[in-house]
Amino acid sequence: MSSEDRRLDVLRAIVEDYVSTNDPVGSKALSERHSLGVSPATIRNDMAVLEDEGYIAQPHTSAGRVPTDKGYRLFVDRLSAARPLSGAERRAIQSFLEGASDLDDVLRRTVRLLAQLTRQVAVVQYPILARASVRHLEVVQLTACRVMLVLITDTGRVEQRVLELPGSLADDDITELRRLLNTHLQGRRLADAHQALIDLPDVVLPVLRPAMTTVVAGLVEALVDQPEERVVTGGTANLTRSPLDFPNTLQPVLEALEEQVVLLRLIGEVDSSTVLVRIGEENLHESLHNTSVVSVGYGAGETALGGLGVVGPTRMDYAGNMTAVRAVARYVGQLLAGS
Amino acid sequence: MSSEDRRLDVLRAIVEDYVSTNDPVGSKALSERHSLGVSPATIRNDMAVLEDEGYIAQPHTSAGRVPTDKGYRLFVDRLSAARPLSGAERRAIQSFLEGASDLDDVLRRTVRLLAQLTRQVAVVQYPILARASVRHLEVVQLTACRVMLVLITDTGRVEQRVLELPGSLADDDITELRRLLNTHLQGRRLADAHQALIDLPDVVLPVLRPAMTTVVAGLVEALVDQPEERVVTGGTANLTRSPLDFPNTLQPVLEALEEQVVLLRLIGEVDSSTVLVRIGEENLHESLHNTSVVSVGYGAGETALGGLGVVGPTRMDYAGNMTAVRAVARYVGQLLAGS
DNA sequence: GCTGGCACTCAGGGATCGGGAGTGCCAAGC
DNA sequence: GCTTGGCACTCCCGATCCCTGAGTGCCAGC
């Protein structure tokens, strides 16, 4: 084992100890708790090097060392074998998710499960509209010239939208509208639906044309141009578990977690199915500079249906959380693909 | 002015000062900041009486006085004229709520608005299903023997439910099912729909009977027996604004606020349109024993469509919050009635 | 390159102490 | 009989000080 390797071991040990105790860790304690095979003095030398390289820091002179963001980053990158799920966890996941009826229910359970498994704040994104395809499009007349469009996707999402029509429509017209929309859109991916929608007003009876134009405009705007992505969060109470992690910075974190936009950027950037870890200042949003985010895409195929993940202090159990996030994503992916 | 009246004035002054400063308030400071027309010594005597009667308490000997739950209660009960909304607030409400498209949007904006106006945690309940009536019921076929029921109510709620049918159905059967359900249910209140539903399988062609029975059972269970009520919350970051209010008790409060059940009991018990205030231990849920809840029903008619309110420290601006909650409820009521 | 020894540095935790705000009580006054 | 000024008393809070102990960096020896 080269001295380089041992230094990495020391870093790993520091991270592990610090994560579990929340105290700056010193050379003596390290040599006692881990069998590194060298004396505290040697560890001290290694620590000095690690500090020079920016992987650890000491809060004040004569205190132990604490991993920096860069240190956590190296630790995470070096994380080789993911800890497998325990049987209990496996059962927990299954029993938690089975029996869910609709999409809302599935995601609510998922976020709860994830928060419970990781003891962090959990965030789950609804299946991305753009990547879903149309299962059904319902047109419900509210008043003479107001209709509600209800879109149902193959991922189970139900989106509604109220539109004001230029003129009043009869029942038959509504039926015709519905029929046309469905024959042209059913099975199509929303991302590809734009052209089909644009062409629709031309194939319609002149009487219906103004209405159809409005409906198409509404659909394009609401579902293609600015598709409304949604997320659910849970377990925010976990942020307060160790008050030391967020001395005075809890408020901005909570505020950030209430912003759908922020969360979407946090969780929704996952393309593939590899777990993504953002540590401390790697997060773009300033309020989250002392949090870490572990996220992954879920979905059956190669492109993710959506993302999910957890947010917590940089001092978190990365290995455990990565395993949990990955496992939950797989289960949810199967569940949603099967429905 | 009797001495009894003056004591109430003293109590009011104590509450006001304590709410704004968060410091136990003493007799001298009180006589300086309020023109009570008597000397500190007299105020001390009144305070002694108020303490005997349990309206105020001192954290420790030789400290100022702090209102007790009972004191806040008396203060709130004595609150006569509600402070009118300022023009700015009025405009804020209108601009915040206008332009909302669908129900989700309205409620999201409402909760945000309420949190912003009161600087507390805001909770808004979705219109209660049982008090809504059916606008449309859609049946969407997922696979040969799985259908998704989508209920749209007159309050704009869209509820989905996936059902497993006993046998496979053809397209025509689905259409017939949909037609039957809608002709029998449209316009009916969900609370009254039970009987109509039960009778449905009998008026249907024998081929459809098993499917109809399943659908009816599903509907009855999901929408009448255990209607799924929902709430949205916002502004939880406000809980951390004054860390002194929840020294170590923030976690249980956050946990309680994540429980739909707890929130529903908190907000959903409003029947009329009078503002309800729950102070400290008046709240049934133990974790909320040092919070106060201000809630009211919203809705156009005499029976509330749902409830909304705010949760905050017992040391809150009751008058202001009651006004804000009442005003927002009125606007939301109008908005939902008009759609 | 590892190790034991040693001097040095501070953060954190009592212990001490004084100031100041607040109280309760009492006797005098309107 | 209420109100008021005076006065002794209480005790929280913040500042100060000290000291202990964990931890470090460096150096000489193996």
Output the pLDDT for position B118: 96
- A236–B258 C-beta distance less than 8 A: yes
Residue type, A104: D
Output the pLDDT for position A17: 94
Output the pLDDT for position A287: 92
Output the pLDDT for position B95: 87
Which residues in chain B are contacts of A222 at CB distance < 8 A? 101
Output the pLDDT for position B339: 55
pLDDT per residue as tens digits for the range A54-79: 999 998 888 889 999 999 999 999 88
Q: How far apart are CA A269 and CA A309, in angstroms?
A: 11
Residue B241 touches chain A, beta carbons under 8 Å: yes
Handedness of CA B53, B55, B60, B61 (dihedral sign): negative
Residue B127 touches chain A, beta carbons under 8 Å: no
- B160–A104 C-beta distance less than 8 A: yes
B43-52, B242-251, B316-325: which range is least confident on average? B242-251
Which residues in chain B are contacts of A250 at CB distance < 8 A? 240
Residue among B101, B234, B241 whose CB faces A251 most closely: B241
How are strands ordered across the β-sheet holding B158-164?
B134-143, B146-153, B158-164
For strand D, is any atom closer than 7 Å to the CB of A191? no
Given a cut of 60, whether residue B256 has pLDDT beyond it is yes
For strand D, is any atom closer than 7 Å to the CB of B58? no
Q: How far apart are CA A110 and CA A116, in angstroms?
A: 10
Q: How far apart are CA A252 and CA A248, in angstroms?
A: 9
| Residues B279-294, mean pLDDT to the nearest whole number | 94
Q: Which of B134, B136, B230, B241 to mutate to test the interface with A (most CBs of A within 10 A)?
A: B136
Closest-approach residue (CA) in chain A for B249: A240
Given a cut of 60, whether residue B122 has pLDDT beyond it is yes
| Residues B289-296, mean pLDDT to the nearest whole number | 94
| Residues B38-67, mean pLDDT to the nearest whole number | 92
Q: Which has more pLDDT, A191 or B239?
A: B239
Average pLDDT, chain B: 87
Output the pLDDT for position B176: 86
**In which region does residue B169 sit, left (phi positive, over 0), alpha (psi from -120 to 50) or beta (all else)?**
beta
Q: B310 is written with which tokens?
A: 């705010």
**CB-based contacts of A61-67 (< 8 A; 24+ apart in sequence):** A63/A24, A64/A23, A64/A24, A64/A25, A64/A26, A64/A29, A65/A14, A65/A24, A65/A25, A65/A26, A66/A14, A66/A18, A66/A24, A66/A25, A67/A11, A67/A14, A67/A15, A67/A18
Q: Give the closest-approach CA distance of B212 to chain A in angstroms.
A: 19
Output the pLDDT for position A41: 92
The answer to whether the CB of A85 falls within 8 A of the CB of A117 is no
Nucleotides of chain C touched by protein CB (<7 A) = 1-5, 8-11, 20-26
CB contacts < 8 A (A, B): 86
Residue B142 touches chain A, beta carbons under 8 Å: yes
Output the pLDDT for position B1: 61
Within 12-51 of chain B, which residues have Cβ less than 7 Å from strand C?
A: 23-29, 40-41, 44, 47-48, 51
Output the pLDDT for position B218: 84
pLDDT per residue as tens digits for the range B67-105: 999 999 999 999 876 678 888 888 888 888 887 778 988
Output the pLDDT for position B285: 92
For strand D, is any atom closer than 7 Å to the CB of B130? no
Cβ neighbours, 10 Å, residue A67: 27
Output the pLDDT for position A143: 81
Average pLDDT, chain A: 87
**In which region does residue B156 sit, left (phi positive, over 0), alpha (psi from -120 to 50) or beta (all else)?**
left
Predicted structure pTM score: 0.90
Output the pLDDT for position A95: 87
Given a cut of 80, whether residue A284 has pLDDT beyond it is yes
Residue A306 touches chain B, beta carbons under 8 Å: no
The continuous run of DSSP H or E covering B192 comes out as none
Residue A232 touches chain B, beta carbons under 8 Å: no
pLDDT per residue as tens digits for the range A151-185: 998 888 988 888 888 888 888 888 888 888 898 88
| Residues A213-220, mean pLDDT to the nearest whole number | 85
Cβ neighbours, 10 Å, residue B206: 7
Question: Which of the given ranges, A44-48, A84-88, B81-85, B300-304, has the highest pLDDT on average?
Answer: A44-48
The answer to whether the CB of B30 falls within 8 A of the CB of B14 is yes
Query: Which residues 102-121 on chain B approach chain A with CB closer than 8 angstroms?
Result: 102-104
Q: Give the closest-approach CA distance of B103 to chain A in angstroms.
A: 9
How many Å does it take to go from CA A32 to C1' D21?
Answer: 18
Output the pLDDT for position A339: 55
- Grade residue B14 by pLDDT with cuts at 50, 70 and 90: very high
Residue B135 touches chain A, beta carbons under 8 Å: yes
Q: Which nucleotide is closest to B43, CA to C1'?
A: D3
pLDDT per residue as tens digits for the range A36-59: 788 889 999 999 999 999 999 998
Output the pLDDT for position A1: 61
Given a cut of 90, whether residue A301 has pLDDT beyond it is no
For strand C, is any atom closer than 7 Å to the CB of A35? no
| Residues B40-66, mean pLDDT to the nearest whole number | 92
Vertex B258 angle, CA B68 and A309, to 5°: 140
Residue B244 touches chain A, beta carbons under 8 Å: no
User: Using the 8-state DSSP alphabet, how is residue A225 labeled?
Assistant: I
Q: How far apart are CA B35 and CA B39, in angstroms?
A: 10
Tally of CA atoms within 13 A in the half-sphere of B123 that contains its CB: 29
A132-136, A165-169, B178-182, B298-302: which range is least confident on average? B298-302
Which residues in chain B are contacts of A158 at CB distance < 8 A? 150, 158, 160
**Which residue's entry shows tokens 């969407």?**
B140
**Which residue's entry shows tokens 């050379």?**
A27
Q: B265 is written with which tokens?
A: 């009991």
Output the pLDDT for position A285: 92
- B236–A251 C-beta distance less than 8 A: no
Q: Which of A112, A143, A162 to mutate to test the interface with B (most CBs of B within 10 A)?
A: A162
Output the pLDDT for position B82: 67
Which residues in chain B are contacts of A235 at CB distance < 8 A? 258
Residue among B138, B162, B255 whose CB faces A150 most closely: B138
For strand D, is any atom closer than 7 Å to the CB of B42? yes
Going by C-alpha positions, the residue among A175, A132, A125, A170 that lies closest to residue A151 is A132
Closest residue, by C-alpha, to the C1' of C12: A63
Output the pLDDT for position A338: 66
- Grade residue B198 by pLDDT with cuts at 50, 70 and 90: confident
Residue B73 in 3-state DSSP? helix
Q: How far is CA B176 from the centre of its chain?
A: 40
A29-38, A99-108, B36-45, B239-248: which range is least confident on average? B239-248
Given a cut of 90, whether residue A217 has pLDDT beyond it is no
Closest-approach residue (CA) in chain B for A241: B251
Q: Which has more pLDDT, B118 or A266?
A: B118
- A258–B236 C-beta distance less than 8 A: yes
Which residues in chain B are contacts of A251 at CB distance < 8 A? 237, 240-241
For strand D, is any atom closer than 7 Å to the CB of A213? no
Residue type, B227: P
Output the pLDDT for position B249: 78
